[in-house]
Amino acid sequence: MEPFFFGESEKRLYGVFHEADPARQRGRAVLMLYPVGQEYMRIHRAYRRLADSLAQSGFDVLRFDYACTGDSWGQFESASIADFVTSAVTAYDELKALSPASGIDVVSLRLGTAVARQLVSKRTLRSLVLWEPKENDVDFLTELHNDILRKGTNRANFLDADGTLHYNGYHYNTDLQAELQHSGWTSFQCSQASAVYLISTAPVSSFSGFRENLNDDEGLLIEQIDGPDDWTFVDSVGGLFLPEPSLAAITRWICA
């Protein structure tokens, strides 16, 4: 496991490269796209475990922080989906330079699936994992809004007078919210990746609209899997999120 910085000198991105076990090298690599906000913090251990598992199975793996998140340049208050997509393209190119792999698979989670959808139009993917996506990107924001309405506002969770959404210490600016309001899956084609695996704790039937919104669904597999789904939960000690069944299913599918 090798942590490093890459990208433009004034806009450095932080990444961690997990080199494949040489004895099991498959000639493939995996790029991992994080969710954002508190979800990034909670899933960090699980993403590292998944990266380790894939590397042990013969895949070169790159985890990285988008611009304005984690240890990369910028502040989340000024984040945009466009910045995230640009970061993903830069990370894809870096992984291509680091690895002799002939093809790159992408694992994306929650808001990371919105980044993945745009990445496929800019770079060639061997396959794509969509872990807990939403039919419409704005549904991520709706979920946060509803959680605030259900629990009530406090110092960490509230909507500012200028429209900024404050949630668990992260500030979702109005421009980022507008980007999510006007993006969805209607322009996505499964053929842009040779195989697409959608995995969720929600029933398969709940993604009927998702399938209908696609221009095609060739190569699409949707699977429901049991596991925790409390993405908005935060406790006093910063409890982590470790959905073992989902990690095992993703590893199994990529390795197949």
Asked if residue 143 is part of any domain, the answer here is no
Distance CA 186, CA 108 (A): 18
3-state per-residue secondary structure call for 30-71? EEEECCCCHHHHHHHHHHHHHHHHHHHCCEEEEEECCCCCCC
* Any domain includes 102: yes
Q: 45 lies in a domain?
A: yes
DSSP string, 178-236: HHHHT-BSTT--GGGBS-EEEEESS-GGGGHHHHHHSS--TTEEEEE--S---TT---T
Using the predicted structure, report yes or no on whether residue 238 has a pLDDT greater than 70: no
In a domain, 196, yes or no: yes
Tell me the chain's radius of gyration from C-alpha atoms: 18
Is 173 inside a domain boundary? no
CATH code of the domain containing 196: 3.40.50.1820
User: Is residue 76 in some structural domain?
Assistant: yes
Asked if residue 226 is part of any domain, the answer here is yes
Q: Are strands 127-131 and 103-109 parallel, antiparallel or unpaired?
A: parallel
pLDDT of amino acid 79: 95
Name the strands in the sheet holding 165-167, side by side, starting at the edge strand that comes first in the sequence: 158-159, 165-167, 170-172
Query: How many domains, the chain?
Result: 1
pLDDT of residue 186: 66
In this structure, what are the phi and psi dihedrals at residue 183, rounded to the nearest 5 degrees? Answer: -135, 150
Model pLDDT for residues 23-48, shown as the tens digit of each residue? 999 999 999 999 999 899 889 999 99
Give the tens place of pLDDT for each residue, 151-175. 889 888 999 999 999 998 899 999 9
213 found inside a domain = yes
**Is the predicted pLDDT of residue 190 greater than 90, yes or no?**
no
Determine the average pLDDT of the residues in 191-213. Answer: 81
Question: What average pLDDT does this structure show over 141-156?
Answer: 89
Percent residues over pLDDT 90 in the chain? 65
User: 55 lies in which domain range?
Assistant: 2-137+185-255
Per-residue pLDDT tens over the stretch 99-138: 999 999 999 999 999 999 999 989 999 999 999 998 888 8
Residue 187 has pLDDT above 70, yes or no: no
pLDDT of residue 215: 59
